[in-house]
Amino acid sequence: MTHSVIELTPEDAWQRQQSGAILLDVREEGERAAGMAVGAVGVSQQTLQHTPANWLANCSTPVMLICAAGKRSHACGEALIAQGYTRIFSVKGGTTAWQAAGLPMTAPAVDEDFLSRYSRHLRLPEVGLAGQRKLASAKVALIGAGGLGSPAALYLAAAGIGTITLIDDDLVDRSNLQRQVLHRNADIGTPKVESGRRTLHALNPSITVEPVRARLQADNVETLLAGHDVVIDGTDNFATRYLVNDACAHLGLPMVYGAVQGFEGQVSVFWPGQPGGSCYRCLFPDPPPPEFAPNCAEAGVLGVLLGIIGLLQTAEAIKLLLGLGESLSGILLQFDALSMRFNRIKLLRDPDCPTCGQGTQHHAYQDLPQVCASDQMPR
């Protein structure tokens, strides 16, 4: 005998539920946070299809499935029938129709702004409600509100990072606008951290943006970075980058590194406290002499390249906060915009590294001469 999914109206499903029938909501956890049919049990479609025996006593157990609009529940029902289950029902029109019929719903787990703003994150099983709440409680330090910091800041804010600390001592200049998309023409002459704060709050008023108009130095670097979960390096000079690296290594924080020059960029995660991790000094033990470093004002760069590298940094930061995937710790990712090619280089931790080498003692931070960091590019 061939079995098929039987569709029920929400009213029919409600009547059957009152008689003891099982109703399973197969939407993702984040979607169910908006409210569920009263009495329904939440289990994602993927989980139910993978382990149906955990939810259904036997193959003849009658079960009703409900999703958002009825398509996923019907597809899930077909998958269960293919596994031998025989009495599968799907609520036509899903939760949307259930609500329209005036049938009882549970209260939303979070407010409407949260549900609407992050709805696409909430539908990802890897993020969901728990992950989005984790992002909302996260604190990220962003060093530099310029070319790399601009795209990073915008997408951190859009992703719902709870607290973003913007650290920069510079003013917005007209020449910045070719690549520093956090700022507008009207912001010329304004501190970048204040311009950035306004832009980020206009994008997402629910987050906290802490503007710090200061240059990181030996006497403030640890104080400014302590207490964060991730540090994103958007610096434009070696002195600051080495300070950030040393402080992150000492504090045990991941430093998401990015650098650009001309049409090339590179990204990595420096986190020597993790297996296979290393720090920036493992790659570049010392900054180059000033005469070999490109001049900040004279070095050219393709504006959009900073957007690409800054967004890669942001993706790494979000992955680190959520504990997802494989980070770039121990890997230098190089990008050539002219050929549109990526190259991965394995990084090794230097056992004699002055910052993270074996048995290395923490030394006082040191202010280095301000030298432009358009950057050393391993080839």
Q: Which of 18, 14, 10, 112 is nearest to 68 (CA)?
A: 10
- The DSSP bridge pattern shows strands 163-167 and 208-212 to be parallel
Residue 282 appears among annotated catalytic residues: no
Q: How far apart are CA 362 and CA 379, in angstroms?
A: 31
pLDDT of residue 375: 45
Catalytic residue among 248, 282, 296, 353: 296
- pLDDT for 378 beyond 60: no
Instruction: Determine which of 93-107, 169-183, 221-235, 361-375 has the lowest per-residue pLDDT on average.
Output: 361-375
Helix 303-322 / helix 128-136 crossing angle, nearest 10 deg: 110
∠ CA 43-46-49 to the nearest 5 degrees?
Answer: 90
Per-residue pLDDT tens digits for 278-311 = 999 999 988 877 655 555 555 688 999 999 999 9
Cβ-contact 306, 151 below 8 angstroms: yes
Q: What is the mean pLDDT of the chain?
A: 92
φ/ψ of residue 164, rounded to 5: -115, 120
CATH topology of domain 137-346: Rossmann fold (3.40.50)
Indicate the length of the chain as a whole number: 379
pLDDT of residue 294: 58
Query: Where in the chain is CATH 3.40.250.10?
Result: 6-110
359: pLDDT confidence band, cut at 50, 70 and 90? Answer: confident
Per-residue pLDDT tens digits for 27-72 = 999 899 999 999 999 999 999 999 999 999 899 999 999 999 999 9
CATH classification number, 6-110, choose in 3.30.310.40, 3.40.250.10, 3.90.79.10, 3.40.50.2000: 3.40.250.10
Query: Where in the chain is CATH 3.40.50.720?
Result: 137-346
Cβ-contact 341, 268 below 8 angstroms: no
